[in-house]
Structure 1
């Protein structure tokens, strides 16, 4: 799979799992599934960054997200 696609999916999973972690902690529960999802998202981002020549610059992230979203339409 393309590193850009995995990077964007990892970012999306990471962003979506943070509210689940906060919600579980605020209820006094252990955020097991949310933590596992956050770890998978982090692994996807790290894998994409290590397999992309030159990595990703902070300024390039919006362009990468736009490119991946355009490829799905």
Structure 2
């Protein structure tokens, strides 16, 4: 997996985990699934950041996102 793909997938998973955690807290349940998905997303974010020479700056994230979307469309 390329670092850009790991970064984008990690961002996607972290964004998906937020509503799951909020829903669990509002229903007074432990947020198990949301926490697992969030940790997996953070692990992918870290993997992408570590395996990129020099890491990612905040300005590099949109470029990586558009690059991955372009790879998917092609």
User: Per the shorter chain, which TM-score range?
Assistant: over 0.9
Structural mapping, 1:32-51, within 5 Å: 32-51=32-51
**Residue in structure 1 matched with residue 52 of structure 2 by the alignment:** 52
> Unaligned regions of 5+ residues in structure 2, if any?
none
Secondary structure at 1:13 match in 2: helix
Post-superposition shift, 1:60?
1.2
Post-superposition shift, 1:51?
0.6
Describe the superposition over 1:13-70 as per-residue Cα deviations: whole angstroms up to 9, x where unpaired: 0001101101100110001011001000000000110011011110111111000000
> Unaligned regions of 5+ residues in structure 1, if any?
none
TM (normalized to structure 1)? Answer: 0.97
TM (normalized to structure 2)? Answer: 0.95
Q: Distance in 1 between matches of 2:6 and 2:60?
A: 15
